[in-house]
Structure 1
């Protein structure tokens, strides 16, 4: 693999992470405009995203398997085109059924990114924690921009444009990647840039069982928080954001921009310290923040929400590296697919949990109390991970890997 191919692969992987989170989070802000236009209640409308969010998890194993067996780069082309097409279809919907179908296609396309994109980056990076951290920054920026893009386009044009415009840009990016693959500028790497140490079968089984529990809990926390945040801010920050979706979208954007660097920090910690210690610490600090989150309004709420999201993202590089460490290289895409069945497959439960708890009290007090309980379960489970030593420093390579060059700054 050429240095240019490695650089382009990392660039498209980062762009794809941003697009995945932009497009899959658009509806969470657009729904506030649909409440007015379609005269439907919030809990009715948010349930239309249930099938789409479910597809993000269910499609992941097949996507990872195809990436392992066929091509990471070509599967990424499919990701850009299918996800963009789903967003455009949602924007053209003329009723609840058509909107549900469009969101389902969007979710199916989005399911490709994480199992394929994670494997793609790990294959090409020498400093894997740093690489995943940088890629995570783009994902966090995507989540942040989703609320601003959705709110802004809904206010300035209409809710349809909020789907169609970013969907079209995503498809154009897919066309660009297709051209790079077709001309040989982007090729698939057959072996890892940095081979990883092996693991025994018993530790691998134990790690996967433990990580299954922690990933389900973390997935529920993330999905519930990102689903509830626009409505949470709209009700608790009325003096700051007014009645429109643009103000709410701007504050959600601010929170996720603040948290965007957390995965880079988590990645650096994961390269430097034992992964188990980093993972348990990152999960544990979420518990008190979740338990107090519903007690604030106005500017204090903005601060607490930023810390909640920051700590949620901090754990992700360690989690991904723990999974990669205990998985054979040839099955890595499938393993990441299984992970995202768990972490994104619980998204419908997160959507339903938000709707259910909001229906109980027309507030999110019960939601954050339950999420604090999930964080506690995750910490207790993570302490059962196999022991490991601190990473051994890597020897200097005779030929620098393109992804370790300071000019890229992207491991």
Structure 2
């Protein structure tokens, strides 16, 4: 039986917290809309600074993780995120909310380039670790809708920020007590593939860039819009923010199993063999979401999120399998700064298309078109570079 690893436990907890923190606001908007008498699109635009900071902060965070200390950076992540969440829960108006969300995004930006690099360091096979960690991240996505809905209804929207902030500070204390900095050590990689030629590396880099940009826009737009999508499609079936959050959480928790499945398969089959079918299936389900009405949106959303979550560990595995340990935080940072840099485009896209069409049909059709770029990236991904000897 494998020994309990407090480092993995703390990193998995951090993954829950980062996605929980970044997705509190899209559900809290449903409570803020009547409380502040501000339209949905205008309220949603307050999160733009947080998404920009989430991306822009990744690059310096990754650099500091490699050059200074991953352990220290994760400590800053837990405590900084906690205090930023609590401060956001105490704001009095839109300007304070925009500032608070920006601080949340800035501290949240530390996790992926530093935490994921810390998770896979000194590991041979990374698929299972990434898959399990991904499930924890998806639990944060699912929990954001449910926890925010429950707290907003029972106590008020402020509690939806303050209580997770307190949890993040407690997790930071646990991290300091249980996790000690460890020097990198050589690890025996099972039959590692030779370093690809430069032309092949450029091709892999282009594939990673293209898929990252397309996936981030599609994923951010879908997860940010989904609480409002459910509220509109299920208006005759749900009667509170809590009910919408509970349904959405169910969808996300079931879909989270995709990362366990894909993580299991990454160590056994080629990445391309997973990448192509998952990317290709995403397009018709986005189109289906554009015409789904009423309760039909639930199974469509479930299938769609299953595919989206399944794509996440594939990108992380590309870096883990083909980048040297000493550079990994920085390469993860470039990947995430690209992802989170493209992600904010989802905000004006949602706001504009929701106002123009009076719903989300146009948005999902636009996302289907964008996701064709992910399919192209999957098709271009080389067989030879990722074949397991």
TM-score normalised by length of structure 1: 0.90
Instruction: Indicate yes or no: 2:273 matched with 1:273.
Output: no
| Matching of residue 146 in structure 1 with residue 141 in structure 2 | no
**1:192 offset after TM fit, Å?**
4.5
Backbone CA RMSD of aligned residues = 1.6
Deviations 1:96-115 (A, max 9, x none): 11111111110001101111
8 A Cα contact 1:60 1:111, kept in partner: yes
Deviations 1:320-370 (A, max 9, x none): 111233322211101111111111222210111111110111111111101
Residues 361-385 of structure 1 show CA distances to partners (whole Å, capped at 9, x for unaligned) of: 1111111101111111211122222
Q: CA, structure 1 residues 324+34, in 2 after alignment: closer, same or farther (shift >3 Å)? A: same
Moved more, 215-224 or 310-319: 310-319
Provide, for residues 188-223 of structure 1, a one-character-per-residue CA deviation record: whole Å limited to 9, x for no partner.
534446475433332222211121011100001100
- Of 385, 388, 391 in structure 1, the residue corresponding to residue 388 of structure 2 is 391
Q: Which runs of 5+ in 1 are unaligned?
A: 393-411
Alpha-carbon offset, residue 297 of structure 1: 2.7
After TM superposition, give the deviation of residue 316 of structure 1 in Å.
1.6
Other-structure match for 1:250: 246
8 Å CA contact retained: 1:123, 1:191: no
Among 352, 367, 370, the residue aligned to 1:371: 367
Mapped contact 2:207–2:380 kept (Cα < 8 A): yes
Does structure 2 retain, via aligned residues, the 8 Å contact 1:207–1:326?
no
Give the 3-state SS of the residue equivalent to 1:240 in structure 2. coil
Residue of 216, 221, 225 corresponding to 1:219: 216
Deviation at 1:70, TM superposition (A): 1.8
Q: CA deviation at 1:315?
A: 1.5
What is the aligned length? 385
Q: Secondary structure at the match of 2:50?
A: helix
Judged with a 3 Å threshold, the aligned counterparts in structure 2 of structure 1 residues 193 and 40 are, in CA distance, closer, same or farther, namely: farther
Match of 1:199 in 2: 196
Secondary structure of residue in 2 paired with 1:391: coil
Distance 1:109 1:350 in 2: 21
Equivalent runs, 1:297-312 vs 2, <5 Å: 297-312=293-308
Per-residue deviation, 1:124: 4.3
TM-score (norm 2): 0.95
Residue matched to 1:238: 235
